[in-house]
A and B are shown apart, each in its own frame.
Chain A
Amino acid sequence: MHPIVKVSNVIKHFKDVKAVDGIDLEMQQGEFLALLGPNGAGKTTLVEMIEGIQQPDSGEILIDGKHWAGHAKELHHLIGLSLQETHFIEKVTVKETLKLFASFYDLPKTRVEEVLELVNLREKQKAFVDKLSGGQKQRLALGIAMLNKAKLLLLDEPTTGLDPTARREMWNILMRLREEHKISLILTSHYMEEAEYLCERIVILDKGKILAQGTLSEILTANNFHEIIEFSFKEKDVNVDFIRNSGLGRIDLDDKTLKYKLFVSDIVVQLPTLLSLVKLNGFSMKSLECHKMTLDDLFIEMTGRRLDQ
């Protein structure tokens, strides 16, 4: 069986920006994949090339083994999508919008009713699109994406800008989808938790390139120093060179919290060493906590920038 999506060495420039800079990606049927990256990483450009909306400058994209050229009709039926930002026609109701899109796929009326239930918009079916909340608009966009029971679903930042409740509701719908159907999903996001929660496979993108990919634990353990000791001193302006030169691991100061982050391979081994070093140098700690590395930490470690900036 061929992969549902195969992207080979795809490059896309905009003037002097390399939006997508040589990406290879393969996705099997039934897989849920998250493209995680900060703004401008190239997520939208990559996804829209897979959707056939944009054309790559070079490289090859195969959907279910087929090129867009020559198979557009077929592939339109195979995929469902929501764009990063779409405004549907304002003075048209939720149900009318779904009906309109359903007509493009020759779907029966009952499918509109089903989708209204699936995305929890039954109560809002008669509301005009411009009267919907952000979460409801995103659910409508998701509903449209789901109409044709596509094999491959592509959702571009479906929860950006939503409050936690609305985001949770979106996640629940997607989780149900994951359990009930054998569909494949590509979702872009700059929320680590979203990628973790919904997708078994995560691809971290930055500046048009793939930084890391795999399951969450694969990505994190690929890095040797995947545990973190976070601490601060009672004293002011401590020179931490004595820790930096100890070989325990990399140490960073978080500007926001004013806490130090020490990236170590094994807390059990390195924590006692750290504590005795601090004591030996005559300092005392104000706070101390240990945790496993998150994707956010990893991204900061690799790029020096935050994921959700």
Chain B
Amino acid sequence: MQSSLLQLIIIQFKTFAREPEVIFWSLLFPILMAWGLGMAFNKENESVITIMQVKNDQYPDPSFRKFMETATEIKNINSPDGKAKERDVTIQGLGTTHYKVIDGTWEQAYVLLKRGVVNLVLEERTEGLQFHFDPKSGEAKASYLQFSSILKGKQDDLAQAMIKPLSQKGTRYIDFLIPGLIAMGLMMSTMWGISYSLIEKRSKKLLRRLVATPMSKSSFMVSQFVARFVLCAIEALVLYLFAKYFFDMTIEGNIPALITLFCAGFFAFCGIALLLASRTSNTFVGNGIINVVVMPMMLLSGIYFSYHNFPDAVIPYIQALPLTMIADGIRGVFLEGAGWAELVKPILILSTIGMVTFVSGLKVFKWY
């Protein structure tokens, strides 16, 4: 008869294979997400600026009226009367901007501002054309600058600026996203897969039953980790292959270093998962505990958007999060050609986190 470790691992794999949701959430879902987000942010030249105009026929603004002359009427669900006008303006180097202009009153403008449909409101007044927008919003500011230049007939100035479009591989959004998704998949898969299933086994008294046999406790833990590691590795590989064939992504840096980083990250998350699952036998409590750890990392670690938008003071803390270390490390290898030199530090830190949490988790682990 096979050894108990092998049996435990086989059982783990069988339960994965027999739960179709596992396959969906761990393999298909990340790909759908990458595909969806990758496509959404990869659309070329399609930039749209929606503007609300509060007309005043007593004080028409000549430049604005002239701009609107060549605009064509369209249907628009956001507009109070269901109609709007559109006009495309192409500037060399900036591509085509699609302007949509909605007619309405100030009250209507406020509603659309609040809903985020428009971020720029034009008002014709005695003293001339007024622009209303939130100066704290970068997007609104950009809309204002671009549109006011066009009205002033200075669109050539915009084009004359030295514009070099970035379309090089490694600088697209998908390039940023894929390493983040790989890192996040690793975290989600270990935290939910290991933590939650341990807590569930405790709540169902299965752990108690298992340790009332001569089964070795370490074999049991190892079986959980080995099975999960294989699943994580497949998950990451599938995501990478998808990005490679669909978005033409390549790995620039050192692959052995990348694999080591991945393993260290896995180890760190395993340790954390074990520690989180070490005491409670209530799956609801477990759910909460896991969320408390997973959520902040998901939001802060720069998976979908760079964490450099956060205040400088908190960035060092963000960078100390395990998920950030893994995501940044993978990004470094994928995009910047990083190798051992850059990865040694995160690898060591992650391994240490793994070691400490693993040992302390095992020490306080409640089998009964």
Please give the residue numbers on chain A whose beta carbons come within 8 Å of chain B beta carbons, in ascending order.
51-54, 73, 76-77, 81, 83, 85-92, 96, 99-109, 128, 144
Give the interface residue-count category, chain B. 20 to 34
Question: Which residues in A have their C-beta under 8 angstroms from that of B3?
Answer: 103
Residue among B4, B8, B214 with most chain A CB within 10 A: B214
Whether, in the assembled complex, B2 has its beta carbon less than 8 Å from a beta carbon of chain A, the answer is: yes
User: Given A83-B208, A86-B209, are A103 and B15 also a contact pair (CB < 8 Å)?
Assistant: no
Question: Nearest A residue to B203 by beta-carbon distance?
Answer: A87
- CB-nearest residue of chain B to A76: B214
B206 close to A76 (CB less than 8 A): no
Best-buried of A51, A52, A54, A100 by chain B (most CB within 10 Å): A100
Closest to A51 in B: B212
Which of B4, B15, B205 meets A104, CB within 8 Å? B4
Supplied contacts A86-B206, A100-B4, A103-B2, 7 more A-B pairs, CB within 8 Å: A53-B208, A86-B209, A91-B15, A100-B7, A100-B8, A103-B1, A109-B1
Report chain A residues within 8 Å CB of B214: 73, 76-77, 104-105
Give every chain B residue within 8 A of A99 (Cβ-Cβ): 1, 7
Q: How far is the CB of B210 from chain A (nearest CB, A)?
A: 8
Chain B residues whose CB sits within 8 angstroms of the CB of A88 once the complex forms = 206, 209
Q: Is A54 within 8 A of B206, CB to CB?
A: no
Q: Cα distance A27–B309 when bound, in Å?
A: 72
Closest A residue to B209 by CB, please name it: A86
A99 to B2, CA, bound (A): 9
B33 close to A (CB within 8 Å):
no
Q: Give Cα A172 to B206, complex, Å.
A: 27
From A86, A100, A107, give the contact of B204 (CB < 8 A).
A86
Q: Among residues 1 to 54 in chain B, which have CB atoms less than 8 Å away from a CB atom of chain A?
A: 1-4, 6-8, 11, 14-15, 18-19
Q: A76-B214, A101-B213, A105-B213 are in contact. Are A92 and B15 (CB under 8 A)?
A: yes
A240 to chain B, nearest CB (A): 49
Residue pair B4, A103 in contact (C-beta under 8 Å): yes
Q: Are A96 and B213 in contact (CB under 8 A)?
A: no
Assembly CA distance A73 to B214 (angstroms): 6
Partner of B11, one of A54, A73, A92, A107: A92
The reply to whether B212 and A81 form a contact with Cβ atoms under 8 Å apart is yes
Q: A76-B214, A100-B11, A106-B1 are in contact. Are A83 and B209 (CB under 8 A)?
A: yes
Question: Is residue B151 contacting chain A, with contact meaning CB distance below 8 A?
Answer: no
